[in-house]
């Protein structure tokens, strides 16, 4: 941290707190999901981007690897109160994928649909952030099946249920469609620092 950063902290003008309210730290990423761990051969695996886009597309595994690769290190916060700090992910920038399919102006919301039929929803704009990626690796290792391999969404700014494992389809809609947990009372926006867990 910079000298001035330390100073501001000592004066109590900024906080060094990395845990959002109601969270405790864990040292490794737990495995959490609705219970089905789908296994898909890479040769069969597809990612579809469809709905309100000019160029709906299905990507094979090999096609995806040719797209711009990014790596990020982020703190992960789960609504069940654990946070795992400094998790490194690498994969494909979602922004570059969206540029290829060209969302239409009325397409403002996204449903993520996974191979276990799990769904979650986000505003399209949330996927354009630089820290949002489709991850195929976790802390330098290929993403294991239990953590959503071969490919999962990572949306670090939201509670982790928005980060769909085993992603299959990205659908762009004009209206917001609540996903699996959102339809069961979880918060639609899910910002950890605002403690948007339910409602
Ligand atoms: N496809 C799918 N994605 C999912 C889930 C799921 O059940 N199915 N669970 C979500 C929840 S509630 C959490 S906390 C994270 C857990 O990811 P992890 O098992 O890699 O820690 O995945 C999210 N993505
Ligand atoms: Mo979760």
199/197 Cα distance (integer angstroms): 7
Q: Kindly give the distance from the C-alpha atom of residue 167 to the centroid of ligand 1, in angstroms, as a whole number.
A: 11
Assess whether pLDDT exceeds 90 at residue 3. no
Q: Which of 75, 161, 179, 192 to mutate to test ligand 1, by most ligand atoms within 8 A of the CB atom?
A: 161
178/189 Cα distance (integer angstroms): 10
Assess whether pLDDT exceeds 80 at residue 13. no
Domain of residue 184 covers 26-194
CATH number, position 168: 3.90.420.10
Q: Tens digits of per-residue pLDDT, 135-172? A: 999 999 999 999 999 999 999 999 999 999 999 999 99
Domain contains 50: yes
CA-based Rg of the chain, rounded to a whole angstrom?
17
**Ligand nearest the Cα atom of residue 80:** 2
Diameter of the chain by CA atoms? 57
Rounding to the nearest 10 degrees, give the CA dihedral for residues 40, 72, 103, 97. -50
Domain contains 1: no
Judge whether 137 and 77 are in contact, CB under 8 Å.
no
Q: How many domains is the chain built from?
A: 1
Domain contains 7: no
Q: What is the mean pLDDT of the chain?
A: 95
Q: What is the structure's pLDDT at 9?
A: 67
pTM of the model: 0.94
Domain contains 20: no
Assess whether pLDDT exceeds 80 at residue 39. yes
Taking residue 86's Cβ as centre, other Cβ atoms within 10 Å add up to 10
123/66 Cα distance (integer angstroms): 26
- Where does the pLDDT of residue 128 fall: very low under 50, low under 70, confident under 90, or very high at 90 and above? very high
**Ligand nearest the Cα atom of residue 33:** 1
* Helix, coil or strand: residue 122: strand
Domain contains 165: yes
Q: Which of 23, 32, 137, 149 to mutate to test ligand 1, by most ligand atoms within 8 A of the CB atom?
A: 32
- The closest of 124, 123, 136, 68 to 96, measured between CA atoms, is 68
Domain contains 136: yes
Which residue's CA is the closest to the ligand 1 atom numbered 22?
161
Domain contains 12: no
Assess whether pLDDT exceeds 70 at residue 5. no
């Amino acid at each position: 941290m910079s000298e001035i950063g330390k100073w501001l902290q000592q004066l109590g003008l900024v906080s060094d707190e990395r845990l959002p309210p109601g969270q405790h730290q864990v040292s490794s990423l737990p495995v959490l999901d609705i219970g089905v761990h789908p296994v898909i051969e890479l040769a069969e695996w597809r990612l579809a981007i469809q709905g309100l886009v000019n160029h709906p597309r299905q990507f094979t595994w090999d096609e995806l690897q040719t797209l711009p690769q990014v790596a990020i290190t982020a703190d992960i916060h789960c609504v069940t109160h654990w946070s795992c700090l400094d998790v490194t992910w690498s994969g494909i920038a979602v922004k570059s994928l969206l540029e290829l399919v060209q969302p239409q102006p009325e397409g403002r919301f996204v449903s993520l649909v996974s191979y276990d039929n799990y769904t979650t929803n986000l505003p399209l704009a949330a996927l354009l952030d630089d820290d949002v990626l489709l991850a195929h690796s976790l802390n330098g290792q290929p993403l294991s099946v239990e953590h959503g391999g071969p490919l999962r969404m990572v949306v670090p700014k939201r509670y982790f249920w928005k980060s769909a494992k085993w992603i299959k389809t990205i659908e762009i809609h004009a209206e917001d469609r609540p996903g699996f947990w959102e339809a069961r009372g979880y918060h639609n926006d899910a910002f950890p620092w605002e403690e948007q867990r339910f409602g």
